[in-house]
Amino acid sequence: MSRKRTMLAALGGAVLAPVLMLIGPGIASAHGYVSSPPSRQAQCAAETVSCGDIKWEPQSVEGPKGLQSCSGGNDRFADLDDDSKGWKLTPVSTQVTFTWTFTARHRTSDYEYFIGGTEVASFSGNDQAPPATVSHQVDLSGYPGQQKVLAVWNIADTGDAFYACIDLNVS
Ligand SMILES: [Cu+2]
């Protein structure tokens, strides 16, 4: 190797290493997501569906409150907004138990569940930090067949919320 090429290689390594550290799984801090029935980000993490960065940090779908967005408005997690990605539908009865798994426990305003922009259920978080998992039972008897549920965790200690879409077949 010429001296010039050696220098270039060293430079390349010096520039690339921090970038790789930034985009790697190590950056993931911690928050929460719907783990059951498996949300889109849970399916990414389990490699049920092949996804980008979200597979490393299913708990990180954070965005401003008030969105109707599976990705929470994060371009980096745009996979989650793609309805044609082959998400696995979970077969459920009309009474569905949704379970959130938290990796950081924020004080919580409330949890909301939407279908097609309509709120189908909400639950108070009593302005307290939740336990490691929280489950809610939601009545989906008015929504037979294939449905995309948007679950929202509105945290009380920032202006943000966490978003998760869950694909179901209700019967
Ligand atoms: Cu958090």
Dig out the tokens for 88 from the structure.
Answer: 């696995």
What does the CA dihedral 146, 50, 27, 34 come to, rounded to 10 degrees?
20
Give the model's confidence band at 140: pLDDT under 50 very low, under 70 low, under 90 confident, else very high.
very high
pLDDT reading at 17 higher than 80: no
Span from the CA of 85 to the centroid of ligand 1 (angstroms): 27
Q: Where are the domains of the chain?
A: 1-29, 31-170
State the pLDDT at residue 23: 40
In this predicted model, what pLDDT tens digit does every residue of 141-151 receive, in sequence order? Answer: 999 999 999 99
In this predicted model, what pLDDT tens digit does every residue of 105-121 receive, in sequence order? Answer: 999 999 999 999 999 99
Span from the CA of 110 to the centroid of ligand 1 (angstroms): 15
Q: How far apart are CA 141 and CA 146, in angstroms?
A: 12
DSSP one-letter code for 40: H
The CATH number of 31-170 is: 2.70.50.50
State the pLDDT at residue 30: 64
Span from the CA of 149 to the centroid of ligand 1 (angstroms): 22
Span from the CA of 104 to the centroid of ligand 1 (angstroms): 5
State the pLDDT at residue 129: 95
Ligand 1 (ion): residues with CB under 5 Å are: 31, 104
In this predicted model, what pLDDT tens digit does every residue of 49-64 receive, in sequence order? Answer: 999 999 999 999 999 9
pLDDT reading at 25 higher than 70: no
Minimum mean pLDDT among 29-33, 96-100, 122-126, 142-146: which range? 29-33
Overall residue count recorded for the chain in this entry: 171
What does the CA dihedral 47, 48, 51, 55 come to, rounded to 10 degrees?
-40
Q: How far apart are CA 167 and CA 147, in angstroms?
A: 6
List, in order, residues 6 or more apart from 60 with CB less than 8 Å away.
28, 29, 31, 54, 77
